[in-house]
Amino acid sequence: MPTKLIGDLISEEQFLEAYNRHLPNKWTKFVFRYFSQSTEQEDKYVSRIVQAVLITLFILGFFGTMLEFSRTFMFAVLIPFAVILFGVAILMFGGFIMNNLRIRKIRRELGITRQEYELLAAFYLS
């Protein structure tokens, strides 16, 4: 079965119209702006601060365990570490799910596969 040419079937106007009808929400924009691998250099400060805090709390907990610090100290380190780590995980997972749902809506509207969407997005949005 011959492959279809995506550009011949879906014009730039059709793609952009569908894309603009399903723009990412604020949560998704926040996650991809500050926590994605393609984060711009000027926006990396948020993820770097979170990383620094998590690493600091981990090191405190590690040495606290090795040196047998009090339980109060260990809970004071463990609770913020767990809350921040869990919060970042939920934030990122939620953004990932919402972005995939948005892409699925665009794909359904245009009647294309994920690979075709990626090709069109690279071609028309770059």
Q: What is the pLDDT of residues 65-107, one digit of tens each?
A: 999 999 999 999 999 999 999 999 999 999 999 999 999 999 9
Is residue 69 within 8 A of residue 82, CB to CB? The reply is no
Binning the chain into helix, strand and coil, the percentages to the nearest 5 are 80, 0, 20
Domain count, the chain: 1
For residue 14, being part of any structural domain is answered with: no
From CA 43, how far away is CA 48, in angstroms rounded? 9
For residue 10, being part of any structural domain is answered with: no
- Mean predicted lDDT score pLDDT of the chain: 90
Residue 2 has pLDDT above 60, yes or no: no
Residue 3 has pLDDT above 50, yes or no: no
CA distances for 40 relative to 2, 44, 45, angstroms:
40, 7, 10
Which pLDDT belongs to residue 1? 32
Which pLDDT belongs to residue 56? 97
Confidence of residue 8 (pLDDT cuts 50, 70, 90): low
Which pLDDT belongs to residue 7? 54
Domain range enclosing 102: 24-31+42-125
For residue 5, being part of any structural domain is answered with: no
For residue 12, being part of any structural domain is answered with: no
For residue 119, being part of any structural domain is answered with: yes
